[in-house]
Amino acid sequence: MSQQSNWPLWEVFVRSSRGLSHVHAGSLHAPDQQMALRNARDLYTRRNEGVSLWVVKSTDIISSDPDEKDSFFESPQGKDYRHATYYKASEGVKHL
């Protein structure tokens, strides 16, 4: 375990039970897809955490740029009408 791993990095997603979506659990190194899935099983489901696993090569994930946070996420600010709580129920509607 001393030398740096030459294996590519994979991101692991675990679905904890039926009806819930897969949640990012962490990452690991593996030489290929099949071994990545097995390593994910060994590393992330040791305590009955999951019923389903996804692994994705880290380099295949496209992420947003933290430096562009403002231009990406500023727009919804101040647009309260996009939330249901912005609206008041009309007096005439009794069973909402």
Partner 1 sequence: MKHEELDEALDSFGDALASATRVTPGNALRPEDIAVDGIAPSEEVARYALTLGDDALILAQRLSHWISRAPELEEDVALGNIALDVLGHARSLLTYAGLAWDKTEDDLAYWREEEEFTSLWIVEQPNGHFGVTIIRQLIVSIFQHLLYQKLATSQDKTLAAIAAKAVKEVDYHRDHAIQWTIRLGLGTEESAEKMRHALDILWPYVDEMFRDEAVHQKLESIAVLPSTLRDAWNEEISAVLAEAGLEIPATGQAMAYGRRGEHSEHLGYLLAEMQVLARKHPGASW
Task: State yes or no: residue 49 binds partner 1 (CB under 8 A).
Answer: yes
Q: Which two tokens stand for residue 20?
A: 């819930």
How many other CB atoms are there within 10 angstroms of residue 65's CB atom? 8
Could you list the beta-strand ranges (E) of 16-67. Answer: 23-29, 52-57
Distance CA 86, CA 78 (A): 11
54 binding partner 1? (CB under 8 A): no
Stretch near partner 1 under the rule CB under 8 A, chosen from 30-38, 60-68, 74-82, 87-95:
30-38
Q: Is 21 in the site for partner 1 (CB under 8 A)?
A: no
Please report, as ranges, the residues that interact with partner 1 according to CB under 8 A: 1, 5, 7, 14, 16, 23, 25-26, 28-32, 34-35, 38-39, 41-44, 46-50
